[in-house]
Amino acid sequence: MKFIHAADLHLDTPFVSISNFSNSLQEDLKKSTYTAADKVFATAITEQVDFVILAGDTYDNTERTLSAQIYLQEQFERLRKNGIRVYLVYGNHDYYRNDFSVINMPDNVTVFGGEITTSEVTASDGQRVGITGFSYYQNHISDDMVASYPTRGNYDYQIGILHAGIGDGNYASFTVNELLTKGYDYWALGHIHKREVLHQNPMIIYSGDTQGRNQNELGTKGFYLVDVANGTTNTKFVPSSVYVWESAQIDANESDTINGLFDKITSTLSRYNNVEAKHLVTLTINGSQNLDENVIRSIDRNELLNHFAAMNSNTILYKVYTKFDRKSQLVGIDQKYWDESEKNVFDLNDIKDMDNRLFGEEVIRQHIDSPDFVEHIKELTKNTINKKYIGD
């Protein structure tokens, strides 16, 4: 028996902060979630899998576009003609609304509803497989959904599909031990955009998203091809990302001119030139306080970005950040006043209360609620202060 475990395709991701790229590159980025999805479905046919699992957030938004629905309908029809079934749950981005879909999907597609149910399929090798899951029916689910999953049924192999976060009360929170009590052979997880094997034997796996969507989703993305034979589950990660987000750093010194920075950045970007995928690199220039103020102005005017945007390369400079440090003799004094004000200024509840309308937007709320949000804001603040008072 073979199957594919994929999640978080996020079709129609808008991609932001790409206006300085060429029109063709912008279009390619916006198509990349579809190109990555093409790899999922092509691999399913090439490998002659029995079924494909899509573990949530197939669409980027619950207001799924007609073009995305037609695309999936066509891909699922291709799978149907090759004898491949599809098992799909909706996640927090594309949560389940049974009166919404405009397009009817082929009869090889099982879409799980808001209640936890189990579907049965007989694989090509004769194994009876139970597949259990549910779709989100609203943006957030605070209930312990795993508690309502049935224990292992009378199947040769049982799979649980779950779009959720570990210890995340907004998204069907669970623990690994809780999943293990169900006795399933494989848990196909979605929601976290980073592939991770939480447990082996049985397998509990986040496949991650199939295409990185921003500079924080680093590295190659993809999905899992799973082969089950003689009671053993073997997994193979299959890359699918068209564009790979990377993070790089260079160090600045007092002798660096703009041309000197061009050379340093060119050398850094060349590290990725021998890789087949295209790379989007976010660059941090450490020690920017060493640079001449005219060089800093050039960077602020995006001259570095514009220079590299004009180059025809598979490695693309996405953003440039300048990082400023204070002079050592001022650190002690600065730290004293920083420590006195830090607790009062960086209060998470105060930040949330600044604008209730903004905090009501999911993408902003998720960003603010992320564990490293406050620390990130502190670092940005320090950097802004250091830049403003450099030389004082």
Which of 222, 322, 221, 226 is CA-nearest to residue 265?
A: 322
Q: Which two tokens stand for residue 202?
A: 């049985």
1 pLDDT higher than 80: yes
CA 199 distance to own-chain centroid: 21
Band (pLDDT 50/70/90 cuts) for residue 132 is very high
Asked whether 206 and 196 are in contact (CB, 8 A), the reply is yes
Which among 225, 216, 213, 244 is positioned nearest to 50, based on CA atoms? 225
Percentage, residues of the chain above pLDDT 90: 57
CA angle 183, 188, 190 (to 5 degrees): 135
The 10s digit of each residue's pLDDT in 208-247 is 999 999 889 999 999 999 999 988 999 999 999 999 999 9
Return the DSSP state at 103: S
Find the angle CA(98)-CA(39)-CA(269) to the nearest 5 degrees: 120
On the question of pLDDT at 284 being above 70, the answer is yes
* Token pair 């930040």: residue: 351
pLDDT value of position 353: 58
Average of pLDDT values for 74-78? Answer: 97
- Give the torsion sign (CA, 220, 65, 74, 23): negative
- What integer pLDDT is reported at residue 350 of this predicted model? 61
* Rg of the chain (C-alpha set): 24
Angle 198-202-206 from CA coordinates, rounded to 5°: 35
**To which residue do tokens 């001259």 refer?**
303
Please state the rounded mean pLDDT for residues 167-181.
Answer: 89
Question: Would you state the pLDDT for residue 306?
Answer: 86
Determine contact, residues 66/18, Cβ cutoff 8 Å.
no
Selecting from 3.10.129.10, 3.60.21.10, 3.30.2130.10, 3.40.605.10, what CATH number does the domain 2-239 have?
A: 3.60.21.10
pLDDT at 184: 97
pLDDT value of residue 126? 95
For the chain, give every domain's residue range.
2-239, 243-390
Contact 5, 229 (CB under 8 A): no
According to DSSP, the β-strands at 186-190 and 203-206 are: parallel
Q: What is the pLDDT of residue 351?
A: 61
Preceding omega of 239 cis (within 30 degrees of 0): no
Distance CA 340, CA 110 (A): 58
pLDDT tens digit sequence for 94-130: 887 655 566 789 999 999 999 999 999 999 999 999 9
| Residues pairing with 261 in the sheet | none
pLDDT at 55: 96
The number of angstroms, rounded, from the C-alpha of 288 to the middle of its chain's C-alpha atoms is 30
Q: Look at residue 318 and give its three-state secondary structure.
A: strand
